[in-house]
Amino acid sequence: MRAARFYAAKDIRIEEIDEPSEDLGPHQVLVEPRWTGICGTDLHEYLAGPIVTPATAHALTGATLPQVLGHEFSADVVAVGDAVDNVAAGDRVSVMPLAYCRECAFCVRGLNQLCTRMGCVGLSWPGGGFSARVVVDDYQAWRLPDALSYEQGAMIEPAAVAAYGVARGGVVPGDRVLVCGAGPIGALTVLAAWAAGAGAVYLSEPNAKRATWAGGALDTAGVFDPAATDVVGELREATAGLGVDVAIECSGSEPGLRAAIGAVRTRGTVAQVGLHVKDAAIDPMRLSEREITLVGTWAYDVHEWPRYMAQVASGAFPVEKVVTDKIGLDDVVTKGFDVLTDPSGDQIKILVNPN
């Protein structure tokens, strides 16, 4: 079968590999991916990896490079192991890609996203969504509600990150929310904040093309270019001097984090969703004197996958708006990774048909 495998930075190869065996373990599920999204984590690997892809055998999954990428995907179930009772052959599914040990201090408390030996299908797993077939575990396969398309099913994973960030930020109906960064997670976070009942959702994004797109597609209350505008000042003005209730930092950048901390009101919350690759200077005095809370957020609550799907199925969380292109597997580098890593590009989320 065809697969997109990561070997090293700037080295993703579309090549022929063996199909996974149909001789499944009792809790295994063989699926055929339908649509698979390219994620920011994939882009980090492409630019500077291996980072999370395993150069040596992964502690939980045993996976090693080369790694079939793709961890945001919908699929059809082809076959299931003897002990699988949550899905059956022929089912449409959305794959929750996290792999966890179910034994560590965090797994036993249900905080599986914080597993000390965390793995992930398509990043540190024997297979991924950028191939015709892949074997996952039963707890990772969730039956897709009829109302959801395969495209929407592929978007549940990044949508879950956004919805979880909104939940960790404590957004309640009517809140004024600032989202920093209009990458795919930032864009989905704008939608997730609206879906949580936000009174107004503002966006800070320096890339003019993304800002223009987001201003139109995401129904924001205001989009600010942080390089040209005093975002904090603008938001104070828009909120009668108070500041926003919650800021969700999705840029992974120091300016984004500083804007988030500057823009929230007294006793407001900043949720750190974007992944920073270096230290960032903040003003701790502002945290103190305004009693601001800065809360880290990682992935999502794996047990809330049905809630994330239900939010999308209800129509309140139109994740499909963030899909800006759909391509074939053979084009995954040239029309996918290369386009998305262009800092002046206008693409947000590209879905790949792995067949």
Residue 114 contacts a copy of itself per CB under 8 A: yes
Residue 298 contacts a copy of itself per CB under 8 A: yes
**Between residue 161 and residue 180, which ones bind a copy of itself under the rule CB under 8 A?**
168
Residue 106 contacts a copy of itself per CB under 8 A: yes
Q: Token pair 């990682």 is at which residue? A: 298
Amino acid present at 275: L
Q: How far apart are CA 87 and CA 304, in angstroms?
A: 17
Residue 77 near residue 150 (C-beta atoms within 8 A) = no
Q: How far apart are CA 178 and CA 262, in angstroms?
A: 11
Among 9, 43, 78, 111, binds a copy of itself (CB under 8 A): 111
Residue 217 contacts a copy of itself per CB under 8 A: no
Burial of 187 (0-12, 13-18, 19+ CB in 10 A): buried
Structure tokens at 313: 């199925």
Residue 68 near residue 14 (C-beta atoms within 8 A) = no
Least distance to a copy of itself, CB of residue 344, Å: 25
Residue 235 contacts a copy of itself per CB under 8 A: no
Q: What is the number of alpha carbons within 13 Å of residue 171 lying toward its C-beta?
A: 31
Residue 286 contacts a copy of itself per CB under 8 A: yes
Residue 43 contacts a copy of itself per CB under 8 A: no
**Between residue 262 and residue 281, which ones bind a copy of itself under the rule CB under 8 A?**
266-267, 272-277, 279-281
Residue 301 contacts a copy of itself per CB under 8 A: no
Residue 296 contacts a copy of itself per CB under 8 A: yes
Comparison of 85 and 291: residue with beta carbon closer to a copy of itself: 291
Residue 214 contacts a copy of itself per CB under 8 A: no
Residue 127 near residue 75 (C-beta atoms within 8 A) = no
Taking alpha carbons only, the member of 53, 61, 58, 76 closest to residue 5 is 53
> What residues line the site for a copy of itself (CB under 8 A)?
105-106, 111, 114, 168, 242, 249, 252, 257, 266-267, 272-277, 279-298
